[in-house]
Structure 1
Amino acid sequence: MGDWSFFGKLLLGMGLFLALMGLVVLLMGKLFSIGRLPGDIYIQKGNFTFYFPLVSSLLLSLILTIVLNLIFRR
């Protein structure tokens, strides 16, 4: 077969990355009010609730684009 140790290291790395990203998301929720910015669409009528974080998504995309460009810049 192939080299299974590489596959194991890859899975372990991805798991650690996902755990770290989960921790970052939890901390961001506590420290910053992202998700309830002006421009996010929130509709509540009776027992129906619709929430679309439009501005929050755009802001998160912009931040991730800047960070990833700084990391992967050559």
Structure 2
Amino acid sequence: MTGFGKIFIVIGIVFILIGVIWTFIGKLPGDLTFRRGNTTVYFPIMTSIVVSIVLSLIFYIIGKIR
């Protein structure tokens, strides 16, 4: 198996884990939602932080594999 194949396996596993967690949690605490009338504004602050951390870990692992 090449290094490129391992990278895709790691990314796939990470996406599966994120999908499972997202299914059970839905929206993270720290995500702000404002509703007024027919308008809803959603600020996914905590979700953005979690996605940033996960992507940083993925790129760190890819850097170590190379």
Number of aligned residues: 50
Q: Which residue of 2 aligns with 1:42?
A: 33
CA RMSD in angstroms comes to 2.6
Q: Which residue of 2 aligns with 1:61?
A: 52
Tell whether the 8 Å contact from 1:40 to 1:52 is kept in structure 2 after alignment: yes
TM-score, length of structure 2 as denominator length: 0.60
Compared CA separation, residues 58 and 41, structure 1 to 2 (3 A): same
Identity rate of aligned residues, in percent?
35
Gaps of 5+ in 1: 1-20
TM-score, length of structure 1 as denominator length: 0.54
In our comparison, the structure showing a higher alpha carbon Rg is 1
- Give the letter for the 2:63 counterpart: F
Q: Give the structure, 1 or 2, with the largest relative contact order (CA under 8 Å, sep 6 or more).
A: 2
Gaps of 5+ in 2: 1-11
